[in-house]
Amino acid sequence: MAILRAQDVRQLSDVELVEQMEKLRMELIQNYGKVSAGGSTENPGRIHEIRKTIARMKTEQNQRSRS
């Protein structure tokens, strides 16, 4: 799944936002599982990018709930 920037996240509907976040969380869990098993991911920087994207999505959800 592609990393979404803030502008891309703002364009998603509420349902799409939740779906994308769940997909990213699953990917993050899989990557953490590989690392904890003693292996390494194909792209170690991907974990950092996934975490940042999830944070962007949570921020957008909070902003929408306040408006």
Which CATH number is 47's domain given? 1.10.287.310
Q: How many domains does the chain have?
A: 1
Whether residue 1 is contained in a domain is answered as no
Residues 28, 51 contacting (CB under 8 angstroms)? yes
Residue 20 located in a structural domain: yes
Determine, yes or no, domain membership for 35: yes
pLDDT digits (tens, 9 = 90+) for 4-22: 999 999 999 999 999 999 9
Separation between Cα atoms, residue 32 and residue 26, nearest integer Å: 10
Q: Write out the residue range of the structural domain in which residue 24 sits.
A: 6-66
Contact call for residues 24 and 1 (beta carbons, < 8 A): yes
The model's pLDDT over 5-64, given as tens digits with 9 standing for 90+, comes to 999 999 999 999 999 999 999 999 999 999 999 888 788 899 999 999 999 999 999 999
Measured at the CA of 11, the angle between CA 45 and CA 23, to 5 degrees, comes to 45
